[in-house]
Amino acid sequence: MRVPIYQIDAFTDKVFAGNPAAICPLYSWLTDPTMQSIAAENNLAETAFFVPDETGEADFHLRWFTPAVEVDLCGHATLASAALIFDDLMPDKNEISFRTRSGILRVRRDGAYYVMNFPSYPPAPCKVPDGLCEALGVTPVALFDAPQEPERDRLMAVLENEDQVRTVSPDFGLLKKLPTVSVMVTAPGWNVDFVSRYFAPNHGINEDPVTGSNHCLLIPYWAERLGKKELLGRQISARGGELKCSLKGDRVEMAGKAARYLSGYIEI
């Protein structure tokens, strides 16, 4: 059986930057173990699979897998999927919709940008778990989680400045022992409104290059703190990526570009 596969770098306009996602467009679902095995074999932060949506609620039904688990929400693989659809499958459309585990997600084309409309999860202060500061190697100024997020499986650690975010060097063995799944670190940026990094060893990803879903928390936090609804964020991983961000009531929008790296087939 031949399954089409594409690898697209999201939140960048050039290959070898941003966050790479594998995309497998399908006519019908493969088995869950097969999709999980493909994601593990790809060994990228996310592999996305989509099929035409038969419910009529959206254009496509979209699912995301890390090398270890299926996840509820993924930004960069959604952007990469939309770029493939706009460029190859539906070039005449300017907006598409996906049915997902996080509801209906819409993506529109705006020039060279793909603009994703996601739920907003305003963060709330939370208790610092035992061992977190030791695992991160830094003590946060403040710590938040997102009460509205379905799984509440990630923390947002606010640091003092961009330099602290750049130099964080977590102990991933210790992070794996914490009850929470993942943690992002963020601070005001020198040349952008905010910067961030993201560590998710319990998802099979020590550091994710660019994480769209984190901005469901980051955008409402920085919009309130900075007193503005239009923001520019940068994830300062080794590959790095930039997001144009907007707070739209109980939704957030993230705009980024995409660069195709690979087109081919999987033989299974």
- Number of domains composing the chain: 2
Q: Is residue 206 located within the same domain as residue 92?
A: no
Q: In the predicted model, what is the mean pLDDT of the chain? A: 95
- Please check whether residues 129 and 214 belong to one and the same domain: yes
Query: Between the CA of residue 266 and those of 4, 65, 67, 72, 263, what are the distances in Å?
Result: 6, 16, 16, 25, 10
Question: Mind listing the pLDDT tens digit for each residue in 196-212?
Answer: 999 999 888 899 999 99
pLDDT value at residue 196:
98
Residues 176, 60 share a domain: no
**Same domain for 169 and 58:** no
- CATH assignment of the domain containing 261: 3.10.310.10
Integer Cα distance of 240 and 208 in angstroms: 10
Number of neighbours of residue 116 by Cβ within 10 angstroms: 24
What's the pLDDT tens digit per position in 215-260? 999 999 999 999 999 999 999 999 999 999 999 999 999 999 999 9
**8 Å CB contact between 8 and 80:** yes
Say if residue 100 is in the same domain as residue 205: no
Q: Residue 153's pLDDT is what?
A: 78
Q: Is residue 152 over pLDDT 80?
A: no
CA distance 178 to 173: 9
- Mind telling me the catalytic residues? 46
What is the spatial distance between Cα 47 and Cα 41, in angstroms, rounded to a whole number? 10
State residue 243's pLDDT score: 94
pLDDT band at 31 (very low <50, low <70, confident <90, very high): very high
Domain identity same for 87 and 174: no
Same-domain status, 223 and 111: no
Same-domain status, 98 and 6: yes
- Are residues 151 and 260 both part of a single domain? no
> According to the model, what pLDDT value does residue 70 have?
94
How open is the CA angle 51-62-198, to the nearest 5 degrees? 150
* Whether 213 and 263 share a structural domain: no
What confidence score (pLDDT) does residue 148 get? 86
- Other C-beta atoms lying within 10 Å of the C-beta of residue 103: 13
For residue 40, the enclosing domain spans: 2-116+255-267
Mean pLDDT value of segment 138-150: 92
Q: Are residues 238 and 130 in the same domain?
A: yes
Are 224 and 132 found together in one domain? yes
**Is the CB of residue 16 less than 8 Å from the CB of residue 36?**
no
